[in-house]
Chains A and B, each alone.
Chain A
Amino acid sequence: MSRKFLFVFISIVLISTACARKEDSSGNSISTSITNTGSDTIVNLALAWAEQYQKEHPEVQISVTGGGSGTGINSLLSGTTDIANASREMKDEELDTATENGFTPQEFVIARDAIGVIVNPGNPVKELTLEKISKIYKCEINNWSELGGEDRPIVRLSRESNSGTHVYFLETVIRLGSKEDKSIFCPKTLLLPSSEGIIAEVRDNPNAIGYDGLGYITSEVKVLGIAEKISMAYVIPSEITANDGTYPISRNLFMYTRGEPKGLIADYINWIVSPEGQSIVTDLGFIPIKGN
C-alpha cells in the first residue's frame, strides 16, 4: 500500500524538479553539461558517443539515460533534457505540444537500424514474409505448424508501447505500411519492459517469436530471413542489406533538440554525424549514415 504513496510522492518530487530544471536550462546556454534521454534502442550507442566525446573534451559532462523514445520526447517537450533520442519520428501531437511550448524541434538522423525478427535456435522455421509476421502478431496464425514448424503454440513478444521499436514494428510490419490499417498487436502479445528480456525469453523458449534492433541481437537466438512479398527473395538483416534497401524492416534513428542547437549541443551533434562519430556505429551493431 505504501508503495502507491511512494509513487505519488516521487511523482510530486519529479514534477517539482522538472519545473526547477526548466528555468535553469533556459538561463544559461554556455553550460558544459548535456542531458540526453530517450530510446532504449539508441542508449548504448549514445553512451559510446558520450564516452568518446568526453575523452576528447574532458570539460564536458554528458549524461545519457534510456526509457523509450516516447519518454525522451516528453522530456524534451517539458524541457528536462537537451537532446532526445528517438527510434521513430515525432508524432503530430508531439510537434503540436512543442509549438505550444514555443519551439520547433530540430531533427537529426544519427544512424540507421535494422530490426531483426528472432526465434529460438531450435525452431526449424528459417524465413517468413512480412504478411505472415503480420498475421502472427494479429493472432491469425497461432501455431508454428502452420508455418512449416513443429506443432507448438506461438508466443509473441514485443517491447512496451512506449518503445519506438514497438511503434515502428506496428506501422511497418503489422499494418504493412498502410495508413488506413488500424489493426493492433493482439492482446495475447507479451509486452516486455526491456530488449534483454526479449532476447532471454526467445533464447529459453522454443515457442517464442520476437523482434529487436540488430544491435541487441546476440548469437543465442536465430534471426529470420524476411521477404517483403511472397515473390521476393528472403533477406537476412545486415549493414549491407539495410543500406541498399533490400531488407524491408530498417529505419532511421533520430536525435531531437529544442530548436536550432547552439554552442556545445550543436558541436556535439555535428561530431556525431561526422565520419569520426559514425566510425563507432558499426561496432555497436548499427548502420552508419551515408554521405558526409
Chain B
Amino acid sequence: MVKLNEVYQSYQRFVLGTASVIGFILLWQLLLTYIIPFNSFFITKPSLIAVAAKDLVSSGKLWHDLAVSSKAFVWGFTAAVLIGIPFGLVMGWRRRVEYALDPFLTALYASPLVALAPLLIVVFGVGLTGKAVLVFLLAVFPFIFNVFAGVKSTELLLINVVRSFGGKEKDLYFKVILPSTLPYIVAGARIAIGRGIVGIIVGEFYAASEGIGYSIALYGDTYRLPEMFVGIMLLMILAVLLTSGMRKLELTLAPWKVGQEGR
C-alpha cells in the first residue's frame, strides 16, 4: 500500500489531470443524456463527436483538412522565424534601428491583425498564400519582441569577455547574443504558435474551400455540430502538443536556466 501511494505521489499531476478531463467528458455526456433536453441544433455530446470523428478519420477528410491548414501554417510560421529572429536581434543590439522601427512594430503588435484578413485575401487570393501571409503577420511579432527582450537581457559582461578576446560584431551575435536569446526565442515561439493558429482559422473562415477552419465554419453553418466539434478539438490538441513540445525544447536548449531555477 505504501508503494502504491508513492507511485501516486510521483504521478499525481498526471493522474489528477487525466481524471478531471475524463470526468468533464462524462459529465457532459450524462448531463445531455439524462438532464438537459437534447437538441441537436444547439448542442452536441461526446458520444456523437466520437462517431463523427471516426467517420471523418476513415473517410480521410480530417487528414486532408489538416494537411491543407498545416501547409499554410508551416509556410507562414517558417517565414516568421526567419524574418522575426534577425529583426529582433538587430533591433535589440542597434539602438538606432530600435528607435526607428519601434513605433511601427508596437502599433502592429498591439492591433488585431486579423482585421487585415479581407485585404490579404483580396491581394493574395483564396488559398495558400493569403493564409500563409496572415499566419506570418500574426506570428512574426512575438518573435521580434521576444528576441528583442532576449538581446536586452544579454549580460554585458559576456559581451565584454568576447570583445576582450578580439571578438568582432559577428562573434558577438553568434557566440553571445543568439545563444543567450535562445530561451526567449522558444518562449516567443509558444506565443507565435497560438497566434498562427488563429491566423489559419480566421483565414479559412473568411474565404477558403478546404482546411480545418473552413470545415468548422461549414459544419457550423449546416448545424452539423458533432463534426464541428471534431475540428475544434483537433485544434486544441494540436495547440497543446505544439506548445508542450516548445516547453521540452526550452529545457533542451537552455539547460543552464533549468539549473538556475532548480537551485
Partners in one complex: no
